[in-house]
Amino acid sequence: MVLLRRVIGDALRARRQGQHRTLREVSTAANVSLGYLSEIERGQKEASSELLAAICDALGARLSELLGEVSNTLSVAESMEGVLVPVSDQPEPSRPEPARAMTADGKVSVSVRQDSPLKTTLHATRKSQRDIVYAA
C-alpha cells in the first residue's frame, strides 16, 4: 500500500535535493525544526496544509505544484496491478518482490518495490520538459 505521506515526503525531498539544499537550510526558511522536516520527508509524519505551504514557499514552489506531482504519482501507482491492494488481500511473500517499473506518457517514471506486506517503496521521477522527446 502506498502512503500519501510517503509520496509527499518523496516529492519534497526530490525538490530540496534538486536545488542542492540541506535540510537545515529549508527547515530554517520554513520555520520548522530540522528533525520534523526530516520525518516529513521520510513519510513518518503527516504535515498540515499550513506547514506544507511553508515548506513549499521555502523551496520556491507552489503547494498546487507539489500536490499535482503527488496526484500524478498516485495515479500511476493506481494503474499498476497490486500496488494499492489492501494488505489483507496480498499474498504472503516468501522474499521481497523485485522492483517493478512503469512509465506513463514518457513523463513520469515510477518504480515500486514491495519489501513486506506492510512496506512498499514507491519512487517516482519526473522528466524535465527539456528531457522529453516528442515524435513528429
* DSSP structural state of residue 95: S
What φ, ψ does residue 52 adopt, rounded to 5°? -60, -40
Confirm if 66 and 15 have CB atoms less than 8 A apart: yes
Please give the model's pTM, rounded to 2 decimal places: 0.63
Question: If pLDDT is split at 50, 70 and 90, which confidence band does 2 have?
Answer: confident
User: Is the confidence at residue 30, as pLDDT, over 90?
Assistant: yes
Average pLDDT (48-71) is 95
Alpha carbon distance 117, 119 (integer Å): 6
Report the length, in residues, of the chain: 136
Q: What is the pLDDT averaged over residues 104-110?
A: 62
**What local confidence, expressed as pLDDT, does residue 75 receive?**
86
Check residues 45 and 97 and name the one with the higher pLDDT.
45
Domain ranges of the chain: 4-129
- Crossing angle of helices 49-58 and 34-41, in 10° steps, is 100
Residue 78 is predicted with a pLDDT of 79
C-alpha cell of 114? Answer: 514491495
pLDDT score, position 80: 76
Average pLDDT over residues 102-128: 63
**Is residue 66's pLDDT more than 80?**
yes
Q: Spell out the residues 6+ positions from residue 44 whose beta carbon is closer than 8 angstroms to its own.
A: 5, 9
Q: Which fold has domain 4-129?
A: 434 Repressor (Amino-terminal Domain) (1.10.260)
Contacts of 9 (CB under 8 A, 6+ apart): 40, 41, 42, 43, 44
Cell matching residue 95? 522474499
Higher pLDDT, 117 or 120: 120
